Structure 1
C-alpha cells in the first residue's frame, strides 16, 4: 500500500450504530467468589496489599476478613470489560485498549458474593491516527452488581479498533523486537525501589491516611512493577475468571462477527466449543489475545513483541491509588487514558501528584490526583485523573 492509498483508506463502522445503547447479555459467574480469587488477582497484578491476601492481617482490620481490591470487579467480567466497547463488525480489524473510566459507589466485595455485569454499548467516534490511519474509538459501559443488587462500580471502557493491515503499513509503534537487557545490578536496584511502595503500605497498616494531612503538591510514593515477561502476562490472564474453563456463563459471542482477522478471532467465550475442545476457547492460545503472549502474532497486529493487557494497566493504577489511600479511604472516580502498552522486558513506573483537595456535593473529603505511568525509559504509557476519598480527623 502506498502513502497515497493510505490517505484514501477507510474503516467500515456501519454496523455499530444499531448496537449503541442496547443492553447485551450480562456477564454472570457460575459460583460465588472465594478468597483465593482475590489472592490470585492481587498476586497477578503485583499488588502485595495484606488486606487482600493475608487472613490474619485482614481479621484485625476494618472488615474483619479478606476483602477484594477495588480493581477486582473487572476480573468477574467475561471479557476484560471490553465487550460492550467492541460490539459491531469492523471488517479485518483488531483492537487494543484505549482507557478505562471507573466510578465506585461504596459496596465492597467479599468471599461468598456473586457479581453480575450489565453491559451497554455507549458511543464511538472515528479519528485519523498516526498508528493506523482511520481508527475507531469505541466506548461501552459495564455496571457491576452483587447478588443483593447493590451497585458496586461502573467501568466505561474505551477500545481502539483499527485495520491491522494499516497498522502494519504505517508502523507507528516503533520499538525493538528484542527485550531490553537488565544487568544484575540494575535488577537489584529495581527490587529495592519496588519495595519502597510495599513498605509504605506496611507502615500504614490498619491506620488512617487523613485528608487533613494532605497538601496540594504532595507526591505519592513511586510504585514500580516489572520487568514484565510472557510469564507475568500469562499469570495476569489466568487471574481473570472468564479465562478458567467453566468459570462463567458463556455469552456465546462470535469473534468473527466483530470483524477480527481470522487468525485472531478464535472461539473465545464459545459455550459449545468449551465442552468439545476448551483449549480452542482460550483467547490467549487461539484468538484475540494471542498477540499478548506470542510475539509472532503481536507483530501481525502492529506490535513489536509481547505486550500487556489494557485492563491490567487500569488495575495497576487503581491499586496504586487505593494502596496509598489505605483501608479507610477509597478511590471514588478514576479516568485513565492509555498511550502505549507494557512490553516484555520493560518495567512500569507510576507516579502521582495531589492537584486539589475539597469537600464534594455529597460531603465527602476528596483528594484529586494526577497520575502518570511510564516505562524505565520515561516513555508515557498512561495518564489518569482520580478522586480519592479520605477520612477526616
Structure 2
C-alpha cells in the first residue's frame, strides 16, 4: 500500500512508546459519562436499549414486592457510567478502535438513584497479528466503580479494544472475505417467524426463586434471540448507553477542536465522529468491517441479560466475561446459548458457573462468555 492509497493514520513505534508511558497512571479529567446516577429512567432506557423488559429494572410497582423494595440497575448499566470501560481510548490518534471484550466483577447491586464515581487507568498493551487487519494492539483498561456518597465499591472491570490500521483492514484483511462475497441476505417471513419463536418463548424468572440445590452441571439455559440486526437497533442501544463520540452542533465542534482525529470527514467534507461505523454503511466498509455493525458493550450486555433472565430476582450476578469474535453487521441474527459447567461453594456463598456462546445465522461464532452467579440455598 502506498501513501497515495492510504486514508487513515497507522500504528507507529513512536505512538506505542508514548502509549506505554500511560500504563498504570490514573486517568484524570475523564470524559463526562452518559449517566452519573442510576435513576429510574436511566436504568429503564439502558434496559430497553438491549431489549430487556425485566420488571426488576423497569417497573417500580413490581420491584416494591422484591427484597430490594425498588428498581435496581441491571448489571450492564454500569457501561453507561464510564466512557473508558465502553471504549473511549487514548493514544494512537486516528487509529481505529474496536471494543472487543470485558471482564466484570460486581460486589453489590446498584440501587435506584445511586450516584456513581469511577477510577480508571490503562492496564496493559498486547500486540497481536490478526486476520482482520494484520498487526493490532490490544489496549486494556481497568475501571473501579464506587457509590459516590458512601464510598462503597460496587464493581470493577477490565475492558479492551483492538487498535487496528483501517487501511490494512480494508485492503488486506481476510476475516470477512467470504461474508462480503455472499452479498446482502434477504430473509423470508417464514425464516423470521421461526427465529421469532424464541422471542415468544422468552421468560423472566423473576420472583420464582431458582435454588442452588436444584441446579445441576449440564443444565442448559433457554436460548436467547437478539436481532435481526438493524441500524435502528444499534441506535436504540446508543440512546440508553450514550455512545462515545455522539455530539451535536457546538458540542461536536468543541470535541473535534480538542481531538481532531475524532472528526473524520464524511462524503460532504464535514468532520463527523468515527462512531458512525455503527450506522453508516459506507464508512464501515472503509475501515474493513462487513457493514454497519453493533456495539461491543451491547454484545456483552446481551450475555448478561441471558443470565439475569435465568437466575431470578434473588440471584446475584457476581462475575461476567465476554469476548467478541466478529462484527454483527446489519442483517445478522444472533442466538445465545448457555450451560451450567460448575457448581461450587466459596466464602459461604453458593455459586454456579455458566459458559455461553453466541452464534449468528450461518453458525459463525459472534461472542463467547462465562458468568458466576450466586443463588439462594434451601
2:350 aligned with 1:365: yes
| Structure 2 segments unaligned to the other structure (5+ residues) | 3-9
Q: Which residue of 1 aligns with 2:131?
A: 130
CA contact (8 A) 1:222 1:351 kept: yes
Pick from 314, 317, 323 the counterpart of residue 300 of structure 2: 314
- Using the alignment, how far apart are the partners of 1:31 and 1:320 within structure 2? 26
Change (3 A) 1:178 1:261: farther
- Using the alignment, how far apart are the partners of 1:194 and 1:255 within structure 2? 45
Pick from 73, 93, 117 the counterpart of residue 95 of structure 2: 93
* Pairwise CA distance, 1:220: 0.7
**What is the correspondence of 1:1-393 to structure 2 with a 5 Å cutoff?**
1=1, 11-12=12-13, 13-24=16-27, 25-26=29-30, 32-78=37-83, 81-83=86-88, 86-89=89-92, 92-110=94-112, 112-147=113-148, 148-174=150-176, 175-176=179-180, 179-197=184-202, 199=203, 201=204, 204-241=205-242, 262-263=264-265, 286-360=272-346, 362-393=347-378
- Using the alignment, how far apart are the partners of 1:123 and 1:259 within structure 2? 23
Which stretch has the larger CA shift, 137-146 or 166-175?
166-175
Change (3 A) 1:180 1:54: farther
- Using the alignment, how far apart are the partners of 2:140 and 2:321 within structure 1? 13
* Pairwise CA distance, 1:68: 1.1
- Using the alignment, how far apart are the partners of 1:151 and 1:27 within structure 2? 21
* Pairwise CA distance, 1:173: 3.3
Q: Deviations over 1:86-142 (max 9, x none)?
A: 3222x54101112110011123231x2211221111001112112111110110012
Which stretch has the larger CA shift, 24-33 or 72-81?
24-33
CA contact (8 A) 1:128 1:135 kept: yes
CA contact (8 A) 2:290 2:327 kept: no
* Pairwise CA distance, 1:180: 2.4
- Using the alignment, how far apart are the partners of 1:78 and 1:39 within structure 2? 19
- Using the alignment, how far apart are the partners of 1:212 and 1:326 within structure 2? 15
- 2:46 partner SS: helix
* Pairwise CA distance, 1:15: 1.4
TM-score, with length taken from structure 2 = 0.86
* Pairwise CA distance, 1:76: 1.7
CA contact (8 A) 1:28 1:116 kept: no
Aligned residues: 356
* Pairwise CA distance, 1:261: 8.3
Q: Deviations over 1:263-316 (max 9, x none)?
A: 49xxxxxxxxxxxxxxx9xxxx92121111100110111012110000111111
Q: Deviations over 1:158-216 (max 9, x none)?
A: 1000111111122323223854212112222222212222x2x1xx3312111111111
Which stretch has the larger CA shift, 380-389 or 22-31?
22-31
Backbone CA RMSD of aligned residues: 2.7
* Pairwise CA distance, 1:11: 4.3
TM-score, with length taken from structure 1 = 0.83
- Using the alignment, how far apart are the partners of 1:348 and 1:82 within structure 2? 22
Change (3 A) 1:166 1:49: same
- 2:299 partner SS: helix
Which stretch has the larger CA shift, 24-33 or 116-125?
24-33
* Pairwise CA distance, 1:258: 9.3
* Pairwise CA distance, 1:235: 0.9
